[in-house]
Amino acid sequence: MNKTVNQKAWFFVLPVLILVAFNAIVPLMTVVNYSVQETFGDNVFFWAGLRWFEEILRSPRFHDALGRQLFFTFTILAIEVPLGVIIALAMPRKGPWVSVCLVLMAMPLLIPWNVVGAMWNIFGLPELGLLGKTLNSIGFDYNYTRQPGDAWFTLILMDVWHWTSLVVLLAYAGLVSIPDAYYQAAKIDGASSWAIFRYIQLPKMKRVLTIAVLLRFMDSFNIYTEPSVLTGGGPGNSTTLLSIDLVKIALGQFDLGPAAAMSLIYFLVILLVSWVFYTVMTRGEEN
């Protein structure tokens, strides 16, 4: 076959290339540049090699933040994914209630993130917040600004409230795409509701759930705004997640080199875990 080579095609790709270059490649490369240099201000840089990477990887502070981050992410995944599926299963498939449920579900997703943080900040205040005051009045010693356990409880509750809807909507989309014939066949085959879930609904939802898990993993691993507004990483460092720590180093201490090295490590961790997730969850489909 004779293919005519037409270099003009590049012109069509160019706008995208420029866009990607300016919003991803150039900033990322700047970070790479910072990560191997040292600066004392005045735009004067010295070569530092891999020193910052070694420092970060050995620092207990980074290990702790990474540990907290992993704990946070896996806890919310363990709650939001099953809960989202259960809610999606309980939602009606037909009738006027469908749109009502969908709007209700979409509501938390529409609220700006810092507003979510501020809402829960006030909601949880022990003296005047609805949640804080109620818990204290029924005998719980609840104070998220002083007790790390309470801070974690509020943080996780807030994320579940904010993001379970996303899993619900994705799972629901997977559920409604199952043709009626499957349910009818299952009825005739005498399948129990558990068998219907296990062999029809779950396999059909697998694709959207993979996406849901990936999105929730990446988003929660990157989370900054809400915990920063809610607890600011405290009390102490007890809820200082990776992103909060990063901002403290970069903008609080202006240690550009270590902050850049940490960003890259952070980025590679997300990339690696996402890749592992994706490979594991889609492995079955190829054979």
Partner 1 sequence: MARITLQNLKHAYMANPQQEQDWALKEFDLEWDDGGAYALLGPSGCGKTTLLNIISGLLKPSNGKVLFDGEDVTALPPEQRKIAQVFQFPVVYDTMTVYDNLAFPLRNRGVDEATVDKRVREVAAMNDLTATLNNRASGLTADGKQKISLGRGLVRTDVNAILFDEPLTVIDPHLKFQLRSKLKELHHRVPNTMIYVTHDQTEALTFADKVVVMNVGEVVQVGTPEELFEEPHHTFVGHFIGSPGMNVLKCDISDGQAHLGGRKIATANKAGPASGLTEIGVRPEYVSFAAKGLEARIIKASDAGRFSIVEVECAGGRAKLLINEGEPVPSGTAHLSFDPKATRIYQDGWLAGRERRP
The structure tokens listed for 193 are 């509701």
Q: Does 203 bind partner 1 (CB under 8 A)?
A: yes
Q: What is the DSSP letter of 253?
A: S
Q: Does 182 bind partner 1 (CB under 8 A)?
A: yes
Among 40, 94, 179, 279, binds partner 1 (CB under 8 A): 179
Among 9, 190, 279, 283, binds partner 1 (CB under 8 A): 190
CB of 21 to partner 1, least distance (A): 42
Q: Does 287 bind partner 1 (CB under 8 A)?
A: yes
> Dihedral angle at the C-alpha atoms of 216, 219, 221, 225, nearest 10 degrees?
-130
Among 161, 199, 224, 278, binds partner 1 (CB under 8 A): 199
Q: Does 189 bind partner 1 (CB under 8 A)?
A: yes
Among 40, 181, 279, 283, binds partner 1 (CB under 8 A): 181
> Residue 65 in contact with residue 227, Cβ under 8 Å?
no
Q: Which is nearer to partner 1, 23 or 184 (CB)?
A: 184
* Alpha carbon distance, N-terminus to C-terminus of the chain: 33
Helix (H) or strand (E) holding 39: strand 37-39
Three-state DSSP at 46 gives: strand
Q: What is the DSSP letter of 95?
A: S
The one-letter amino acid at 267? F
Q: How many helices (H) and strands (E) does the chain have?
A: 14, 2
CB of 116 to partner 1, least distance (A): 37
Q: Which is nearer to partner 1, 139 or 179 (CB)?
A: 179
Q: Which is nearer to partner 1, 195 or 268 (CB)?
A: 195
How far is Cα 63 from Cα 68, in angstroms, rounded to an integer?
9
Q: Which residue from 123, 145, 130 is spatially nearest to 232, judged by alpha carbons? A: 145
Among the listed ranges 29-37, 107-115, 177-185, 268-276, the one in contact with partner 1 (CB under 8 A) is 177-185
Q: Which is nearer to partner 1, 106 or 185 (CB)?
A: 185
Q: Does 192 bind partner 1 (CB under 8 A)?
A: yes
Helix (H) or strand (E) holding 204: helix 202-222
Interface residues with partner 1 (CB under 8 A) are: 179, 181-182, 184-185, 187-192, 195, 199-200, 203-204, 287
